[in-house]
Structure 1
Amino acid sequence: MLLDVPYSQPPVPLRSLDLYAPQDNAPGTPPPLFVFVHGGAWRSGDKHELDALAQGVVKRTGFAVALPNYRLSPREPTPGRDLYHPAHCEDILEALEALYKYELPVENIRDLYDASQIHLGGHSCGAHMLSSIFLDSSAVTPSLRPSDGLLSSVQSITVSEGLYDLDLLLNTFPGYRDFVSGAFGDLASYKQFSTTGYKELKAGIRWLVIHSKGDELVDMAQSWAIYEALTSRGARVVREFERLDGKHNDVFGEAEYTQIIGFRRDVGSSINRQDQAREVSVQG
């Protein structure tokens, strides 16, 4: 386990990641990499809170796991003390590019993971960040375009309890305007930032959309919105809206969560066989 590895130069607070690697990996066969982006309404949360999740994924799958932090919007923005979208996403993209290019101050880093096999996960606003980067938001945020190499290496994206359609979110939860405006500015509409309107950048990425029945902070309409948007564009997408019943910030503590996002190295870039079977039933 490597903690607080800087992914930017010069090092900047919060622009760092934790890296977990399996101890029993055979020499010369580095495992795939799973990168998980924490939530927290763009203004809170920390990678260290996901230690149990990372260790669970390593144990279950044999994958390496990276947990990046990113700069956060202040709870009370003031002139000169603010941070707006796409800055959070730019940090995550910088972390992903550094992981893909092995540009981290880590000895023998190429032995820890295979950068040609990257799987991504994001929770809550982390799901919005990943969908902003790996769906085509270039008309609004051209700085979020991943390199061709990184894009070709990403095999799957798992998003859980996500925020995607911001106007729909505010219609349902008007009180959320505080943190949405803190991250995106005080606007009449946030339609341009709703990732349900973005097309795929790369065909073939497998998307898994997860939502807990017990989520008290984000309603399932958000996950249905991104699932239906991806489906309508012909994306390879699976949904899982039944197996979890924990609260928004408690789903990581459920054994089911690690099982759902679990991968199998023997099926390469695919989500596990159970999810493959579910994709057939959902699409059929």
Structure 2
Amino acid sequence: MDREHADSAPAASADTASYTDLNAQIIDQWVADGWEWGTPICHECFEAACAGDWSMVLTPTREVPRTWFFPVMHGKRVLGLAAGGGQQMPIFAAMGVVCTVLDYSEAQIASERVVAEREGYVIDAVRADMTRPLPFADGSFDLIFHPVSNCYIEDVQPVWRECFRVLAPGGRLLAGLDNGFNYVVDDDEERIVRGLPFNPLRDPSLIPAEELPEWGIQFSHTLDEQVRGQIQAGFRIVDLYEDTNGSGRLHELGIPTYWATCAEKPLG
């Protein structure tokens, strides 16, 4: 997820590598520095999940409703898309699902393997760039769990098309989405200082080179891209909700900065 991370990462600029390669390197460093979204769940949390005591988030604070999951998850094929880090996939494993996770961060993938080995379950951990065609056959999964991560890619429509392709009919896509509001305010979240869209590939001054280790290369996206884009890919939106940052002035004022959607691939 965006904005909340450790303070240091390797200095680099967008012209030394593709922006997704650069973001993967930066996130690796955030994980090493103790990033909240790169800290695996503990053994006790896994045991609790095995006993049915669990919750998951797609956005910073609000729990995903259990009605968004299938009534019986055991045996379902689940893809954690850009969901490495050992936080959600262990909970899915505790439900008895067939787990696959795809992430471009080596550190996030390594965490998945460490937790799987620690808890004794099998996971297919794939390091790949989600901006490219997903390395899975059509209809490979029953559910895709996709926490906030589209803020690190420029074009989200190909992701929705690929999600639709790799889901089986009747499959569900659960997605956490940044609504862009974080990008218009100053660091204290008190003044509007930028317009939208926020795209540092088009305007490098938005994230100066010295700030790349703190931010990575991030992008704002519209409701058209994030929600209508899923509909255009063929999905039916089943449910949605909003969430805040979890801290800071926007949170204190109750201003939503995230959406979460539950979408379904039609049977016919």
Fold shared per TM-score above 0.5: no
Structure with more helix by fraction:
1
Higher relative contact order (CA 8 A, sep 6+): 2
Q: Report the TM-score when normalising by structure 1.
A: 0.29
